């Protein structure tokens, strides 16, 4: 009888302790209204500028995506090599009535799976293709909207 009484007291103490811990945790999760910021903090100096990401998958018989849309500015272009061969992803700016102008070449050796390059792009239309197969192209449309 004494044992069961001691066991009951121990269980009761543990239950009360757990309830106190749960209350403390839930109270700390609530943010008082005075701590909520209503204005944005000023932009910090020296932070990395936001970059858009475009991933291009180069397969043996295809290139994906067929078309991608981004806003003008910095774009991180990632070439994903799915061919197990050396890949050179060429990016050219296209203007009606003019010859395409080379912007960048992202090279991915067969031993690597991906390569990346940061580009700064103006509004307009660009094409990308693998250098050995210029007929398989994708389009990159840079538009501010």
pLDDT 10s per residue in the chain (145 long)?
Answer: 667 667 666 666 776 666 665 555 444 444 444 444 444 445 555 555 567 999 999 998 899 999 999 999 999 999 999 988 899 999 999 988 888 788 899 998 877 889 999 999 999 999 999 999 999 899 999 998 7
pLDDT at residue 84, rounded to an integer: 85
Q: Is the pTM of this model over 0.95?
A: no
Task: Name the residue among 142, 106, 100, 138 with its Cα closest to residue 121.
Answer: 142
- Which CATH number is 52-142 given? 2.60.40.420
Task: Name the residue among 73, 91, 74, 85 with its Cα closest to residue 139.
Answer: 91
């Amino acid at each position: 009888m004494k044992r069961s009484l001691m066991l009951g007291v121990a269980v009761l103490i543990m239950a009360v302790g757990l309830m106190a811990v749960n209350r403390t945790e839930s109270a700390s999760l609530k943010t008082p209204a005075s701590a909520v910021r209503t204005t944005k903090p000023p932009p910090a100096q020296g932070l990395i500028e936001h970059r858009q990401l475009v991933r291009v998958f180069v397969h043996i018989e295809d290139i994906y995506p067929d078309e991608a849309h981004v806003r003008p500015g910095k774009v991180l272009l990632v070439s994903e090599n799915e061919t197990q061969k050396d890949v050179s992803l060429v990016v050219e700016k296209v203007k009606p009535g003019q010859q395409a102008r080379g912007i960048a070449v992202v090279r991915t050796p067969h031993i690597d799976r991906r390569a990346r390059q940061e580009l700064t792009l103006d509004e307009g239309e660009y094409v990308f293709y693998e250098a050995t197969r210029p007929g398989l192209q994708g389009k990159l449309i840079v538009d501010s909207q």
